[in-house]
Structure 1
Amino acid sequence: MNRARAEKRGRRGETLAAWYLRLKGWRIVAQRVKTPRGEVDLVARRGRMIAFVEVKWRATAAELDLAIDEYRLRRVAAAAEAIAHRFVRTGDDQRIDVLLLAPGRFPRHITNAFMG
């Protein structure tokens, strides 16, 4: 698949993930936050919890099992650490979540995906 098409699908996945989180009571406070250490796809807040969310969109449900690994989670965690001061307030909890999406499948939301 060419890069432009992959980028378009990725953006679509992030939009769907944002709507899914909104339906679960989250407020999206930022999207596609880039840092020198990596990128955070979504930053969401629900009450005193801030979630830095990595979104993975794959063409098939079978591909989702390989969509996220320790290396990618470390990059998201490093990026989240770099931007946390912008979103986390005193008394807030924070975590790294992953949302896995594929056509025709209900989203799989992995909470606290990184325990580094």
Structure 2
Amino acid sequence: MTSARSARGARARLSGHRGEIVAALWLMAKGYRILGFRLASPQGEIDLLALRGRVLAVVEVKRRATVELALEAVHQGQRERLRRAAAAIAAGRPALRDATVRLDLMALAPGRLPRHVPDAWRGE
């Protein structure tokens, strides 16, 4: 791997981590409790896991030019993996077993406030 490619990857990871922190702060301001960052499971990785009431939000954080592009960036297979990962994590935590699992999107765009889209892929 070239040093330029390695540097781009490091910048992308740092940008992603910063985006997740911004998203977590935004969600906390809306009353969510953040349960975890970058949670790995055999089914996939969850950017943010947040709880508000009985809703367990699996939050995918995407930095794109528009919310529409952010929504399109999460393909069907990834959404299915996120749902399976959330179910596995909830099953392993007794306090979360009765929670309603929901897939949310946090869209970040340059020069704009974060946009939280609850139940972003409803009806699939």
**If the TM-score is normalised by the length of the shorter chain, which range does it land in?**
0.7 to 0.9
SS of match in other structure, 1:34: strand
Q: Which runs of 5+ in 1 are unaligned?
A: none
**Is residue 67 from structure 1 mapped to residue 73 from structure 2 by the alignment?**
yes
SS of match in other structure, 1:105: coil
More helix by share: 2
State how 1:1-116 maps to structure 2 within 5 Å.
2-58=8-64, 60-61=65-66, 63-64=69-70, 66-85=72-91, 86=93, 88-90=96-98, 92-115=99-122
* Range 69-78 or range 44-53, more displaced: 69-78
> Which letter does structure 2 place at the counterpart of 1:18?
A
> Which letter does structure 2 place at the counterpart of 1:98?
L
RMSD: 2.1
TM-score by length of 1: 0.84
How much has 1:13 moved relative to structure 2?
Answer: 0.6
How much has 1:26 moved relative to structure 2?
Answer: 0.6
Percent of residue pairs identical: 44
TM-score by length of 2: 0.79
Q: Which runs of 5+ in 2 are unaligned?
A: none
CA distance in 2, matches of 1:33, 1:7: 15
Count, aligned residues: 114
Contact kept, 8 Å, 1:57 with 1:102, in 2: the verdict is yes
